[in-house]
Copies of this chain bind each other. A is one copy, B any other.
């Protein structure tokens, strides 16, 4: 059900990633945004993003994107799960949980077991899942104002 993102997933992946971007309010990303993201996910650069997708009946119904990056407190670095999305019609079937577990497995295989992600405080549906598979930290994010 979960497999590494591959060239054949191009169309189904974009449709889903557009849904995810819309969830965060980005309804009009140019095509170039998706082209670049897919190209990076397909690259062999171990320092850039990797993608996994969930497939059901030949349809891409879930995606997850993650990257390994340095952390000064840990030699091996950490794994940042940036994007996670399940098609609305496929929710409640464990797709999100399976994708997170697949990232955990990939992180273990890479020798970088520490996986983290950020989510909006009011992403209630997401947090119902996250509270079961991970631990909420007391850390909040500040962004430079640009």
Residues of chain A whose beta carbon lies under 8 Å from any beta carbon of chain B: 36-37, 40-41, 47-49, 65, 67, 69-73, 75, 80, 82-83, 104, 107, 113-122, 124-125, 127-128, 130-131, 133-146
Contacts and interface: CB of A to CB of B under 8 A. Distances in A.
Contact of A49 (B70, B83, B122): B70
A134 B140 contact: no
Q: List the number of copies, as a whole number.
A: 4
A118 B114 CA distance: 16
Nearest to A65: B72
A113 B65 CA distance: 22
Contact of A130 (B49, B82, B137, B142): B142
Nearest to A104: B144
B67 A70 contact: yes
A48 to B, nearest CB: 5
Contacts of A41: 72
B140 A116 contact: no
